[in-house]
Chain A
């Protein structure tokens, strides 16, 4: 098995290649450069691992939530790569990968993942960590951090939310961006457990536009 994992739901453009004897990953931080950086990173990972595109057996993409434009770049890259090679593609909620990395930093307790949703909002979800593994307790959502229920703000928090709103999140964790390698591990685990992993982008917001009917109603 050789898994190509891609995440572009945050400012980090992250690619990983995971196989029995392969552990390649490459990341670039550039909030506006997903389109430019991603494909060269994929090629670089393949080259450094001395693998051909045809050696990849599975593709995994982070389905967000994340700023739409960057998120789509990763998802379409994963979908098309898998289609071109005739291999399966799996979707994993990007917040889950941050939660797994965060679990290594905390004991058995609840934690929050909060990422930059722009417009003074965060994408977030609540998790329970247990023995380094996590279980999601709430569906991913997008909100103003001030409007999150009080106890959540006091929980250990991963993602860039605490960097953007240091006055609100009391316990920031040093886990900021999604790592594609974690995404790959999660996908392999779920694959073995027979969990379905559809690739559905988590937009969580409607497009900003009114239909002509909506404009007519005051």
Chain B
């Protein structure tokens, strides 16, 4: 170790990105990523077996690139951290096996960590120590969760999550309806810039009456996706042109309105003054703008990592691993499994 700052390498393979990140304490040295997204585009969605094969191919080249760009040697690594879940089982196993092998070969401790907690921890390397507690909203193609985080290394609580589609999934599905490419998020965001947010009044799931009572911090995007499809198909059936940018803007408004409203409510009702947003959907420009606006109005400090750190990456895993090491948490057992349905409340495997 240099000074007291441990050098930690993090591996992430829960979906279609092979991520290798290296941090020194709370400083990010490198965030190397190999993505198989282009291969999945041909299939219109992530194919688990395609992702797993790509992880195996990319593992060593990505490790190599990470150490080279960070200017460190693997022999200098003090600990290895890896996403042990949740995620695609076969994809997780490639990363977990790689991390274990690295830990054995280098003779260093291994930390199996929760993917969602890592999404929260990554902001430490961007904006410094996490305020405690923090409310975190994680929105991506795989997850939509509201979390209360008193301590990201061992106390993460679930406030709510989606009861059907993830937010990012809704973006992908609506993009398909509109004839936009996969992954849909960036294309919808771009199309929406030319459109009107109030052109079409799409439904806001779980925001009214009994629904809001029973699912205070839960989300539902399946009804919204269906409403958009129905609206577009009705237009097509009538032989009228589909105003793609208006549909995109109105859909995006419905999603981001619900997300930000519930996130701010979660902060208020838990007496928390800090909100962090992460996950791929956090790259959405309207989500960022609306969250900022509503947090400002409510006196809540908002933290959003830069887009490259919001999507899945190895830096977030390294960041959490380093926190665990710094707080003296014991390493994980070398026999730890890849747990595709690892509960969000379990920070470490």
B98 and A36 contacting across the interface, CB-CB below 8 Å: no
B63 and A83 form a contact (CB under 8 A): yes
Check if A207 sits within 8 Å of B337, measured CB to CB.
Answer: no
B101 touches A209 (CB 8 A): no
User: Measured between C-beta atoms, what is the minimum distance from A121 to chain B in Å?
Assistant: 16
Asked if B93 contacts A80 (CB within 8 A), the reply is no
- Most chain-A CB neighbours within 10 Å: which of B49, B55, B97? B97
Closest B residue to A39 by CB, please name it: B100
* Interface flag for A136 (CB, 8 Å): no
Q: Determine if B50 is an interface residue (Cβ-Cβ < 8 Å).
A: yes
Interface membership of chain B positions 56-85, coded 1 if the CB is closer than 8 angstroms to chain A and 0 otherwise: 100110011000000000100000000000
- How far is B43's CA from A88's CA once the two chains are assembled, in angstroms? 36
The CA of A99 and the CA of B211, in the complex, are separated in Å by 63
Contact of B42 with A by CB under 8 A: yes
The digit string for B267-305, where 1 denotes a CB below 8 A from any CB of A, is 000000000000000000000000000000000000000
B263 within 8 A of A: no
Q: Are B106 and A35 in contact (CB under 8 A)?
A: no
Most A CB within 10 A of own CB, among B49, B90, B105, B106: B105
A32 to chain B, nearest CB (A): 10
Given A42-B104, A210-B43, A212-B42, answer yes or no on A69-B90 (Cβ-Cβ < 8 Å): yes
Contact mask for chain B residues 185-205; partner A; CB cutoff 8 A; 1 contact, 0 none: 000000000000000000000
Stretch of A19-27, A70-78, A108-116, A138-146 with 4 or more beta carbons under 8 angstroms from chain B: A70-78
- A171 within 8 Å of B (CB atoms): no
Q: Are A81 and B90 in contact (CB under 8 A)?
A: no
Contact across chains for A39 and B101 when beta carbons are under 8 A apart: yes
Within the complex, the shortest CB–CB distance from A66 to chain B, in Å, comes to 13
Tell me the number of A-to-B contacts counted with CB atoms below 8 Å.
112
Asked if A209 and B74 make an inter-chain contact with CB atoms under 8 angstroms apart, the answer reads: no
In the complex, per-residue mask of A175-213: 1 if CB is within 8 Å of any chain B CB, else 0: 000000000000000000000000001010001111111
CB of B336 within 8 A of CB of A36, answer yes
Once the chains are docked, how many angstroms separate the CA of A83 from the CA of B62?
A: 11
Tell me which of A37, A43, A69, A74 has the highest count of chain B C-beta atoms within 10 A of its own C-beta.
A69
Contact mask A71-95 → B, CB, 8 Å, 1/0? 0111111111101110000000000
A76 to chain B, nearest CB (A): 5
Contact B93 A81 (CB under 8 A): no
Give the nearest-CB partner of A215 in chain B.
B44
B74 CB contacts on chain A under 8 angstroms: 83-84
- How far is A211 from B98 in the complex, measured between Cα atoms in Å? 29
Partner of A35, one of B47, B60, B63, B96: B96
Residues of chain A contacted by B335 (CB below 8 angstroms): 36-37, 39-40
Q: Which residues of A contact B103 (CB under 8 A)?
A: 39
Instruction: Scan residues 88-122 of chain B and give those whose CB is less than 8 A from a CB of chain A.
Output: 89-90, 93-94, 96-98, 100-107
A142 to B52, CA, bound (A): 20
User: Closest chain B residue to A210 by CB distance?
Assistant: B43
Any chain A CB within 8 A of the CB of B306?
no
Inter-chain contact A73/B104, CB cutoff 8 Å: no
B180 CB–A CB distance under 8 Å: no
| In the complex with contacts A35-B96, A39-B97, A209-B43, A84-B102 CB distance below 8 A | yes
B334 & A39 in contact (Cβ 8 Å cutoff): yes
Interface residue B127 (Cβ < 8 Å from any Cβ of A): no
B230 within 8 A of A: no
Give the shortest distance, in Å, between B247 (CB) and chain A (any CB). Answer: 21
Question: Does chain A have a CB within 8 A of B53?
Answer: yes
Q: A79-B59, A201-B56 are in contact. Are A211 and B104 (CB under 8 A)?
A: no
Residue B338, interface by CB 8 Å: yes
B100 to A, closest residue via Cβ: A39
* A34, CB-defined interface residue at 8 Å: yes
How many angstroms between the C-alpha atoms of A215 and B42 in the bound complex?
Answer: 11
Given known contacts A39-B103, A81-B101, A34 and B93 CB-to-CB distance under 8 angstroms: yes
**A contact residues around B50 at 8 Å (CB):** 207, 209
Closest chain B CB from A90 CB (angstroms): 14
Complex interface: chain B residues within 8 A of A81 (CB): 101-102, 104-105
Residue of A whose beta carbon sits closest to that of B97: A73
Contacts of A211 in B (CB 8 A): 42-44
Also in contact, A38 and B100, with CB within 8 A (given A79-B60, A83-B63, A203-B53): yes
The 8 A-B residue pairs with the shortest CB-CB distance in the complex, in nearest-first order: A39-B100, A207-B49, A84-B105, A80-B101, A209-B47, A77-B101, A73-B97, A211-B42
- List chain B positions with a Cβ less than 8 A from chain A: 42-44, 47, 49-50, 52-53, 55-56, 59-60, 63-64, 74, 89-90, 93-94, 96-98, 100-107, 334-338
Cross-chain pairs A/B with CB under 8 angstroms, 22 sampled: A36-B337, A37-B335, A38-B100, A39-B100, A42-B104, A52-B107, A68-B49, A68-B53, A69-B93, A72-B55, A72-B56, A72-B90, A72-B93, A72-B97, A73-B93, A74-B97, A79-B98, A80-B59, A80-B102, A83-B60, A84-B74, A208-B49
Q: Given contacts A39-B335, A77-B100, list 7 more A-B pairs with CB under 8 A.
A: A39-B103, A40-B335, A53-B106, A69-B89, A79-B98, A80-B98, A80-B101
